[in-house]
Structure 1
Amino acid sequence: MEKRFLTPAETIRAIVENGRRVLTQSRLRTVVLSFLSGVYIAFGAELATVVTQDAAGFVGQGIARLLSGSVFSLGLMLVVVCGAELFTGNTLLSGSALQGEISWGKVLENWLIVILGNLVGSLFIAWLMFESRLWSSGNMVDHSLRIAVVKCQLPFGVALVRGILCNWLVCLAVFMATAARDVAGKFLACYGPIMAFVASGFEHSVANMYFIPTGLLLSGELGRNEPGLTWGNFFMANLLPVTIGNILGGVVFVASAYWYVHLKGEGRRERPEG
């Protein structure tokens, strides 16, 4: 009888071995998969914005956040089941480097390509949604601007800590999805942690590549001068600290922790060049 799921030791080993794909996968393939991942996360972010545009007034702030996290989880479900390269999930490549399966140079190369591909994919969906004019109905404009402004006004340290907490949960979702052996199990593995990080108000770098540019596009179109909402603040006040936090959350608290518990001391392969 086939196992319904992998043990934690088997899961981190599968994640580490899967990291070897960066040794043979072409850069162009990585670019395409990264673009798609940015698109998928943006779909989740867009859906969360639509669903919660007026929900708090009817069901309260807490339930509205629960709804937001519930529908946003679609993004990681698409990434996991359809296959794509997501920067936050790829912080788990650090486990492969710790085990000597790939070099740290390959990890950094992958991260750079993937985060740029994620950015392009997210911006593409933000632009398409802007051009769709679907934001012109309901409370979409005010809600989208409010999300973007709040994110751009976060202090650096606050954004960094929220980034750590976010990717701790995201990488646990990827960890559990790897352990699951069927699609239903992978869906459930994605849902819980992603719902939790969104409902809690944590910060995800790739999601913010949709949320904040959407606010910037709308503010420019409507001539609304929102405090702190600039492209400079998007990159330096939000994306930079959140990305650093996401790296720390995934590398330290998931990849390194489970590598240390289950794989440290096992025989290593010769460290590859690159």
Structure 2
Amino acid sequence: MSYVKPADLVTAMVDAGRSKVFLTTRETLVRAFMGGAILALAAAFAVTVSVRTENPLAGAILFPVGFILLYLMGFDLLTGVFTLVPLAWLDRAPGVTWPAMLRNWGLVFVGNFAGAFLVAVLMAIYFTFGFSSEPDAVGQAIGTIGEGRTVGYADHGAAGMLTLFVRGVLCNWMVSTGVAAAMISKSVMGKVITMWMPIMLFFYMGFEHSIVNMFLFPSGLLLGADFTVSDYLLWNEIPTVVGNLVGGFTFVGLTLYLAHGRRGGTAGAPSAPASPDLEKELVH
């Protein structure tokens, strides 16, 4: 059967989290770089569709293409490892320690940012004919997003910061549901359909995704938007990362583990290090 039952799903998630800890630095950075780059291209595509069709729903429907492609190819996002690696630590998988987990998160963050930033530079060139003219309508829309989601939050003070954090929580609740959905079916079509739904929801609702923002906000700055790097970090990226961590682990990883993990026998998993090909077998 192509459907993976919840108990087996949790086992697969724990195994995937454990395997990430044992990846080399090069493997982790390359997977994260490509994950950030592909998601950034999907974000540029979705904004382009939304602007040119004047229909934000059309952009949201098409945005999951990037997420699906990157996970089918075994690349990584910070939002995903925020959910999977802590599960392996919670399950007491051998070798999954706090330092190992933090190392994985740090490398994935760096790789995601590098990939997203490269796409931001390339798309800024695309939108401005190599910085020789004003940005087109899509470039202007990206700048507006950057301003609204930095100084727009700052204008509301503490209430704005709370809203930003909550949007980050809600975002990775959905995104990590998509990460889990990548393992809930053994067929490619099943994976595509189940990943598509929560990712479309998060994008249309305007929740805050740390990796998408690694593209949108540097793009806005390159295209002349009226906010600063410190605005971006303080009033978006840092609170979004924290919200993404809380949302993904609390509402997806932990809840699935508490509901199905021990019944699935994930506690006390075999002590051998994860196979380098484990993620390929999981298609994750």
TM-score between the two structures when normalised by the length of structure 1: 0.88
Find the counterpart in structure 1 of residue 121 from structure 2: 127
Cα deviations by residue, 1:144-181 (Å, 9 ceiling, x for unpaired): 11111111122211111000000000011111111111
| Aligned AA (1:177) | A
Gaps of 5+ in 1: 57-63
Native 8 Å contact 1:99 1:264 kept in 2: no
Q: C-alpha separation between the residues in 2 aligned to 1:138 and 1:233?
A: 24
Find the counterpart in structure 2 of residue 59 from structure 1: none
Find the counterpart in structure 2 of residue 182 from structure 1: 187
Deviation at 1:142, TM superposition (A): 2.3
Native 8 Å contact 1:165 1:202 kept in 2: yes
The alpha-carbon distance between structure 1 residues 134 and 218, as it changes in their structure 2 partners (threshold 3 A), is: closer
1:69 to 60, 73, 78: 60
1:97 to 89, 93, 100: 89
Find the counterpart in structure 2 of residue 29 from structure 1: 27
| Aligned AA (1:13) | T
Q: C-alpha separation between the residues in 2 aligned to 1:72 and 1:137?
A: 22
Find the counterpart in structure 1 of residue 108 from structure 2: 114
Q: C-alpha separation between the residues in 2 aligned to 1:38 and 1:240?
A: 17
TM-score between the two structures when normalised by the length of structure 2: 0.85
Gaps of 5+ in 2: 154-159, 273-284
**3-state SS of paired residue (1:75):** helix
Cα deviations by residue, 1:45-98 (Å, 9 ceiling, x for unpaired): 110111111433xxxxxxx23212112112211221111111001112211111
Identity %: 29
Find the counterpart in structure 2 of residue 61 from structure 1: none
Q: C-alpha separation between the residues in 1 aligned to 2:164 and 2:138?
A: 24
Cα deviations by residue, 1:3-47 (Å, 9 ceiling, x for unpaired): 111011111110101222134311111011110011011011110
1:139 to 133, 137, 148: 137
**3-state SS of paired residue (2:182):** helix
Q: C-alpha separation between the residues in 2 aligned to 1:202 and 1:144?
A: 15
Q: C-alpha separation between the residues in 2 aligned to 1:230 and 1:6?
A: 46
Deviation at 1:104, TM superposition (A): 2.7
1:218 to 209, 215, 223: 223
Instruction: Say what the alpha-carbon RMSD is for the aligned residues.
Output: 2.1
Native 8 Å contact 1:22 1:106 kept in 2: no
The alpha-carbon distance between structure 1 residues 195 and 31, as it changes in their structure 2 partners (threshold 3 A), is: same
Q: C-alpha separation between the residues in 2 aligned to 1:269 and 1:178?
A: 18
